[in-house]
Structure 1
Amino acid sequence: MKILINCSTLSGTGVTQVAVSFIRECINIQSNEYHVFLSKTVSRELENSSFPSNFFFYTFEHHPIYGIKGFKIRKELRKLEKKINPDCVFSVFGPSWWTPLKPHLIGYAYPHYVYRDSPFFKNISFFQKIKINVFELIHLWFLKRNGKYFVCETEDVSKRLRKLFNCTEENVYTVSNTYNDFFNSYKRLEENILPEKVEGEFRFLSLCSFAPHKNLVILNKVIPLINSKFPGNKVKFVLTVDNDLFNKKIDDSVKPSIINLGRVDVDKCPQLYDECDSLFLPTTLECFSANYPEAMKMKKPIITSNLSFATSICKDAALYFDPYDEKNIVEVIEKLISSTRLAENLVEIGCKQLDIVLTPRERAEEYLKICKEIAN
C-alpha cells in the first residue's frame, strides 16, 4: 500500500508526539511505501536520513490555511497528492484544510465540540465562548468537507462524534492513544534536566501547554494553600509552557514554587517524569491525554480532574479532584504526599491498567489497518 501521511498542520505538543510516534513505528512495517507531509514542528522531531528507502518526506514551512502563503501550500499539497497517487491519505489530526482525491482518514482531537457538558464552559467568559463557537463552525465545516472517515482516541469520543456529524459507525473508528516509543527505550541522561532537589522536595509534573482548558491558572490559588501546609517551597510544580504566557498568567508570588522549562523535546519527556514524583493534570477537556499512560509507564502516581475522559482511562490508578476547587486539589495533594504506601499502590494499579492500553506499535498497526480498509 502506498500511503500519504499528512502532518503539515501540526504544531501542538500532544498532536506532534502522536505523529512522531506513528511515523517512527511505520519503520517496522516495511510492506508499505510512505510519503510524509511535515510541518516545521514535526520535522524538527525527525531525522529523515535515519529512515529506510520506502519513506519520502516533504516539509512545508507555512501552515496551509493562512493568507497567500497558505493558498500556495494548499495548491502544492494537491499537486503532490496527484503526483504521488497514494492508495489512501491519513491526516494524523485534522482539519487538513485541503480535500484529497483519494480516501481520506482524519484524526479527531477537538474535545470542546463533543464535551459541551464540561464544567469548562461554565468558567470562561462570554467572549471566550463566542470564540470557541466561531472556531467550531470553521473546524467542523472543514473536517466534514476534507474527508469522510475519522478516527478518535476513545470510544466515548467516537460515539459523540457520530452524533455530532450524524454519521454511521462505519465512518468513525477508535484507536487508543498511548505513550511514545521513547518511553520503551528510555535511558537516563548523564545530566539532569531539572535542578537538584532540596531535602524533602516533592515535584508534580504538568506536561502540557497553557491552553485555557488545561486549567494551569488554578496554580495561582493552589500554591499559596500548599505552601501554608508545606512551608519552604518544598512542593514544586514543573511546567513546560510558553514563557510569555507563563509570565502573563502566573502570579509573581507563586513563581518560586514553579519550574517552567518552556517547550521540551519529545525524547526528553521520559526523563522529566523520572525526575518528578507525580503527574498533576488539572485539565477540564481532553479527547485522550497521553500523559496518563506515560505516567503509568514511568511508574508515577497520577492526580487529575474527576471527569469522564480521565476516569475512563485511569480508573483506580489515580486520585481525583474537582479542577476548579483549589481546596479539594490541595486535600488530594496532601493525601498523596503524606502516604508513600498510597503512591505505591497507585503505581501498582497503573502498571496493570497499562496492560489494556495499546503499545505504540499496536497503535500504528491499527491506523494502517484502517487505511487499508478504506482504500479498498
Structure 2
Amino acid sequence: MAVAVSLPFWLTTLALMRKEPGGPGSWILVGDPLVALGCFTVLLWRRRWPLAVALAVTMASTASALATGAALMALCSVGTRRRPVEIGAVVLAYVTASQIAVKVYPVQGSADAMVWVQVMVPALTAGIAVAVGVAIGARRVEMRSLRERAESAEREQSARAAQARALERNRIAREMHDVLAHRISLVAMQAGALDHRGDLSADENRVLVRGIAEGAHQALEELREVLGVLRADHGRPEPPQPSLDRIPDLVADARASNLDVRLSDAVTGTPPDGVGRTCYRIVQEALTNAAKHAPGAVVRITLDGAAGGTLDIGVHNGPALLRFARPPASGFGLLGLGERITLAGGELDHRPTPAGGYVLTARLPWPDSPAHSHEKST
C-alpha cells in the first residue's frame, strides 16, 4: 500500500522535472528509489518502535518523493496509538520535511506558490493519515475489548459449569450414601448377629440369611436406579424420591433386619415434597447410624408437626447390646445431612446421651400451603 501511495507522488515529481531546462537528474532516478527502499524496509519495525521509525522515515522523505507513502504509513501507524504528543511531533516533522522537499526538488512555479498552500496540503494529507490511524486504533481497541469480554464470558460460563458439576457430584454422592449406607448397614448388622449368636435356631438363621440376601438385592437395585439417573438423558424424568409417607416402610425394613424400632407419628397433614424428602433422609441416616454403632438397641422415632409451623424429628437409641465388628464409617453421613437441613432452612442437633446412647433432633420449616391458608381464612 505504501508503494501504491508513493508512486503517484514520484511520477508527478518526475514529470514536472522533465519540463525543467536541465531535465530530471540522476538522483530522482537512482538515489530517490534507493532512499525509498530503505524507508520501506525500516517500516517493518514500526510496531516495535513506532515513534522512532515514523520520525526517521518522515525526515528521509525530504530526499525521496517515492518515500512519501512510507512516511504517511508511518504516520498512520503512530495514529493507531492515539497519543496526541507523538502524533503532533510526527505531523510537525512531516510538514517540515515537505517544505524541505520543495528545496530538494525545485520545479517551475513551486517557488511562487503561496506559503499557506505549501503548508496546508501536507497538513491535510497528514491529517487524513492520522484520522485513518486513529480509526484503526479505535477499531483495534474495540475488537480487543469484545475479545476480552467474550473470553471473560467464556471463563464465567466454564466456572458456572464447573460449579454445577461440583454441586451435581455432591448431590449424587449424598444420594448414593443415603441409598447404600442404610442397606449395607442393615446387612452388616444381620451378618454380625448371624456370626455372634450361637443360640439361634435353624429357622432364625434362615430368616437372617434371607434378610441379608434381600438387603443386598435391594441395595443393588437402588444403586442401579441411581446409576440409571446418571446415565439418563436430560429429557428423561428422575424417578420419584421417597417422602414422609415412606417412613413406615423404612421402619418395617429395619425391623425385618432385627432392629428394634418404635415409631411415634403425630404429623398432621402432608408436608411439601422437599420437607418430606428431607425428613425421610434424616430418619434413614439415623437408622443407619443406629445399626452401625448400637446394634440391638431400641430406637425410638418421634415425628410431630403441622402446616404453618415446623416438622420436628427426633431419633433416640440406647447403648449397643450386641458386640461385633462394625462396618467402616465414612464420616460424611451427618455432614451431608447437616448440609441438607441447612439448605432446607432447618436446624440439626445430635449428641451422645449420658446412658451411652445417642439422640438426633431436627426441625424443618413447614410453610403454610395456599390451600390451607384459604381454608383457615374462610
* Structures share fold, TM-score greater than 0.5: no
TM-score w.r.t. the length of structure 2 is 0.20
- Which structure ranks higher in relative contact order (CA pairs < 8 Å, sequence separation ≥ 6)? 1
Which one has a larger percent helix, Structure 1 or Structure 2?
2
Larger radius of gyration: 2
